[in-house]
Copies of this chain bind each other. A is one copy, B any other.
Amino acid sequence: MAYTFVLIHGSWHDNRAWKPVIDRLEQNGHRAYAPTVAGHTATDKKDISHAECVQSVVDFIKTSDLHDFVLVGHSFGGTVIQAVAEHVPDRIRRLVFWNAFVLLDGQSLEDNIPPHYRELFAQLKQPDGGVMLPYPVWRDAFIGDADDVLAREAYSTLSPTPSRSHNDKVPLKTFYSLPIPKSYLNCTEDIALPPGPEWGWHPRMSSRLGLYRLVQMPGSHEVIFTNPHLLADKLVEAGRD
C-alpha cells in the first residue's frame, strides 16, 4: 500500500536533510513532502513565534491540497505536528512522532528539557532571537553514530533556530481528544535528551500519546544523516495502517 507523508524537521534543520529519506520513500512507491518550518532557513529572520511555525505548515498543507497523509514530526517538529493536527485533523491519517517532543496543553518545549540545556540556550541566544547548537554537544549527544567527517559535514548544514519556538507556550485544547492514530519512532542510541525516566524521549514522551504504536531502530538523534534509508523504512512501519 502506498502512503503520502508530510515530514516536519526539528530545530536547527531545514527541509534539505529529508532528501535521501524522500528518495527512499518514493523508490518504494510512496509520496513525501517536506516543508521548511517558518524561521528555519539560514537566511530567515529568527524572531518567529511557535504559532508562526505551525501556521507555515498548515499553509503548506492547504496550498498543496494534501489529504489523507501521515504527518511526521522530528524532535521540535513534534510540537508543530501536535498543533497542526488541531488545525487540519480530517486530513491526517496517522501522526508519527520520531524522537519528538509531545507537549501537554500549555507547555513549551523548554518546559520539557533539563536545566543544563535551558541554561546553555539562554547563554547562547543572539540579539536577533536565534540560538545555535555548539559543535561538541552536537557531535557526542546528537550524532554519536557518525564518523568525524559526516558529523562535521552534517553540522555545516545547520543554522540558528528561533528561540521563541522553544519558549512559547503551546495551547493544545483538542489534541488529546482527536481520534487520529499515533505512533512513536524511537532511536535506541538517541541521547539528545538524557535517557531515563526524568528526561528521556521514550517512554516519557511516547506515553503521553495514550494508545500508540512503538517502532524502534538503532541510531542517534540524527539518523536522518547516518541511516536515512532505514529511517524511511521505519517511518513506513510507523505510519502504515
Binary flags per residue of A182-218, CB closer than 8 Å to B gives 1, else 0: 0100001101001111001011001100011111101
* Contact assessment for A197 and B197 in the assembled complex, using a CB-CB cutoff below 8 Å: yes
When distances are taken between beta carbons in the complex, the residues of chain B under 8 Å from A196 are 197, 203, 207
Determine chain A's interface SS by DSSP, over half rule: loop
- Counting CB contacts under 8 A, is A145 at the interface? yes
Q: Shortest Cβ distance from A181 into chain B, in angstroms?
A: 7
Using known A-B contacts A195-B203, A203-B194, determine if residue A144 contacts B189 with beta carbons closer than 8 Å.
no
- Counting CB contacts under 8 A, is A119 at the interface? no
Question: CA A145 – CA B196 in complex, angstroms?
Answer: 24
- Counting CB contacts under 8 A, is A65 at the interface? no
Interface residues on A, range: 35 or more
Using known A-B contacts A197-B196, A203-B196, A218-B216, determine if residue A137 contacts B211 with beta carbons closer than 8 Å.
yes
**Residue from B140, B202, B211, B215 within 8 A of A195 (CB atoms):** B202
Question: CA A189 – CA B197 in complex, angstroms?
Answer: 17
Most B-side CB within 10 Å, residue of A136, A141, A144, A181: A144
- Counting CB contacts under 8 A, is A168 at the interface? no
- Counting CB contacts under 8 A, is A23 at the interface? no
* Contact assessment for B188 and A216 in the assembled complex, using a CB-CB cutoff below 8 Å: yes
26 A-B pairs, CB-CB below 8 angstroms? A1-B148, A136-B181, A137-B211, A140-B181, A140-B211, A140-B212, A141-B212, A144-B213, A144-B214, A145-B215, A145-B237, A148-B240, A148-B241, A188-B216, A189-B215, A189-B216, A191-B212, A191-B214, A194-B203, A194-B207, A195-B214, A196-B197, A196-B207, A200-B203, A214-B220, A216-B218
Q: Interface residues, chain A, CB within 8 Å of chain B?
A: 1, 136-137, 139-141, 144-145, 147-148, 181, 183, 188-189, 191, 194-197, 200, 202-203, 206-207, 211-216, 218, 220, 237, 240-241
